[in-house]
Amino acid sequence: MPHDEAQAIQELLSSYARLFGFFEAEGEELVIVGGAVRDLIAAAALPAKLDVDFATSALPEKTIEILKKNKLRFFTTGIRFGTISTIHADSGRMLELTTYRPDESYTPGSRKPEVSFGTSLEADLIRRDLSINAMALRGDGSIVDLFGGREAIAARRLEVPGGGLERTRIILRDDPLRILRIARFAARLDYRATDDTTTAATECAPWLQSISHERWKAELDKLLIAPQPAAGLRWLQQTGALREVLPEVLPLLESADFDRWCEALQQLPTEPHHLRWGWLLLGAAIAGAEADDATSWPEVAVRQQTVALLADRLKWSNEERQVVGELIALPLSTAQLAALPELELRRWIARTEPRVADQCALLVALGHLGSEGAALAPFLARVEALSGEASPVPQLPLGFGKVLMTELGLQPGPAVGQAVEAVKQAIIDGLLPNQGGAQDYLAWLRNRAATDA
Ligand code: ATP
Ligand code: MG
């Protein structure tokens, strides 16, 4: 065991020593499981940063009793799944303590019992998704590694506990989300799936349709913000899983530029993560357009429809929809972007703020593709010129609606809203100055009414 691993284990355990003691005193086993043990051994995260989950031989009621007895707060929201939560005194983080689950994975197709509990750590570990996630750390510092997790980490290998094609099929069929999790770990750790894993995933990929799309989204979000999304996406393409969950992005994966696109992705912040979705879909749109040789504006509606379909499928938030929708509405080529008519540019900024800076970050990242970077500069300069005081985002005088009513004799109702909208649109389009006086705007409205009459 390398020296710093022992030190990391001690550091981690010292902050949970009391909790381990409470369970030991009751004759119950308590262990740290899953991702924390993996990341600690792989030195993928510092002990203080680890997201620690526990497994225990104690039934949920017993866990509650132990926590109560030791005056620890507890929460029973996850009790249906055998999980009791408590708050970690040192970090203030929520900790989950889950009763051992028995291995049910050898009975595919049978209806799962609501929840059943096991008594053996071994059974709990073998039902986990990957051997690297199927290790446990005991309070005494020893590591329970029954399925070659440490060896798999050393070999950077993704395989199910127990391995073998037959068992892998059963495990992936049992919960096809595991296919997306494998891709996520490939992207995060740059590990490789074994041949058995890839074969079984290829067979089981169609079963992804049987699970909820919210679960897809959670894993795909994590994949996209990982350091090596290309590795995960390529594997999903190879197994056919990408065709199941994100067929829209296939043109990007098939493009000769894919690796360069992925380099561009590294330039993007991971917060907000929807920038990375924007990158993925814009990349797919560009790759698709290159394939069809159709880069012109009329394609915008089609692209936006694609985003809308995907947003529905992945249950995106309104913000995610909007950010990606705005982005996808931009011209695809940098030359077109630079030549965007002033009116279109002003309208885009007004619609897109406060996300213009994010969108530009994305375009800059994409500008790193080939020689497009320099061509992007005029566009960015024009956007910059329309910021601050020159921003087209309308700012009306306070109480402008009231002024409208008194000065123009309007009754409260839609007419007031329409007048306000007309002024805003005129500011966006540069027909009226922004942050002007109420009287100037009124004069414009009166003049317009006179011309209309
Ligand atoms: P992260 O560091 O991103 O949290 P993690 O491995 O801890 O990664 P979680 O989703 O937090 O992932 O799950 C915790 C553990 O639960 C995993 O390490 C794994 O052992 C087990 N697990 C989670 N989801 C599944 C699943 N679908 N099938 C089997 N085991 C799973
Ligand atoms: Mg975790």
130 alpha carbon – ligand 1 mean position (Å):
9
The CB density around residue 317, as the number of other CB atoms within 10 Å, is 10
The CB density around residue 68, as the number of other CB atoms within 10 Å, is 11
Quote the longest CA-to-CA distance of the chain.
89
Indicate if ligand 1 lies below 6 Å from the C-beta of 103: no
Question: What residues pair up with 74 in beta bridges, in sequence order?
Answer: 86
Inform me whether the pLDDT recorded for 105 exceeds 60.
Answer: no
Say if residues 181 and 219 touch (Cβ distance below 8 Å).
yes
What is the rounded average pLDDT for all residues in the chain? 88
Q: How far from each other are the two terminal CA atoms of the chain, in whole angstroms?
A: 87
Nearest-angstrom CA–CA distance, 188 and 233: 11
Mean pLDDT of 389-400: 93
Q: What percent of the chain has pLDDT over 90?
A: 60
* Ligand closest to CA 188: 1
Nearest-angstrom CA–CA distance, 438 and 404: 9
Domain 1-155 and domain 162-245 have a common topology: no
**How does residue 106 score in pLDDT terms, banded at 50, 70 and 90?**
very low
- Which CATH class, in words, describes the domain spanning 162-245? mainly alpha
H/E segment holding residue 94: strand 94-99
Query: What pTM did the predictor assign?
Result: 0.84
Residues 6+ away with beta carbon under 8 Å from 90: 15
Any idea of the CA torsion for 110, 111, 113, 118, to the nearest 10 degrees? 30
453 versus 140: the higher-pLDDT residue is: 140
The beta-carbon contacts of 338-345 under 8 Å, at least 24 apart in sequence, are 338/375, 338/376, 338/378, 338/379, 340/379, 340/382, 342/430, 343/429, 343/430, 345/382, 345/383, 345/386
For Cα atoms 132, 133, 139, give the angle at the middle one, nearest 5 degrees. 110
Mean pLDDT of 175-203: 97
- Cα dihedral across residues 422, 426, 432, 436: positive or negative: positive
Q: Would you state the pLDDT for residue 63?
A: 97
Burial 413-427, CB ≥16 within 10 A → b, else e: eeebeebbeebbebb
**How does residue 108 score in pLDDT terms, banded at 50, 70 and 90?**
very low
Is the N-terminal amide bond of 206 cis, ω within 30° of 0?
A: no
214 alpha carbon – ligand 1 mean position (Å):
16
User: Which residues are near ligand 2, the ion (C-beta closer than 5 Å)?
Assistant: 35, 51
Say if residues 441 and 400 touch (Cβ distance below 8 Å).
yes
Indicate if ligand 1 lies below 6 Å from the C-beta of 272: no
Residue bearing the CA closest to ligand 1, atom 4: 35
Cα separation values, 432 from 112, 341, 395, 450, Å: 66, 18, 11, 17
Q: Would you state the pLDDT for residue 368?
A: 62
Q: Would you state the pLDDT for residue 300?
A: 72
Closest to 313 (Cα-Cα) out of 277, 358, 356, 275: 277
Say if residues 176 and 211 touch (Cβ distance below 8 Å).
yes
Mean pLDDT of 315-340: 79
The CB density around residue 93, as the number of other CB atoms within 10 Å, is 11
Q: Would you state the pLDDT for residue 362?
A: 78
Residue bearing the CA closest to ligand 1, atom 18: 34
- Which CATH class, in words, describes the domain spanning 1-155? alpha beta
Single-letter amino acid code for the residue at 157: R
Ligand 1 atom index nearest CA of 188? 3
* Ligand closest to CA 161: 1
Nearest-angstrom CA–CA distance, 169 and 18: 41
* Structure tokens given for 252: 């990007």
Closest to 272 (Cα-Cα) out of 339, 233, 225: 225
Nearest-angstrom CA–CA distance, 22 and 316: 42
H/E segment holding residue 56: strand 53-56
- pLDDT, tens digit (0-9, with 9 covering 90-100), for 18-33: 999 999 999 999 999 9
Indicate if ligand 1 lies below 6 Å from the C-beta of 101: no
Nearest-angstrom CA–CA distance, 328 and 296: 13
Inform me whether the pLDDT recorded for 374 exceeds 80.
Answer: no
Say if residues 232 and 186 touch (Cβ distance below 8 Å).
yes
Say if residues 179 and 241 touch (Cβ distance below 8 Å).
yes
H/E segment holding residue 33: strand 30-33
Say if residues 345 and 382 touch (Cβ distance below 8 Å).
yes
Sorted by where each begins, the domain ranges of the chain are 1-155, 162-245, 331-390, 400-452
Residues 6+ away with beta carbon under 8 Å from 201: 172, 179, 182, 193, 235, 239, 241
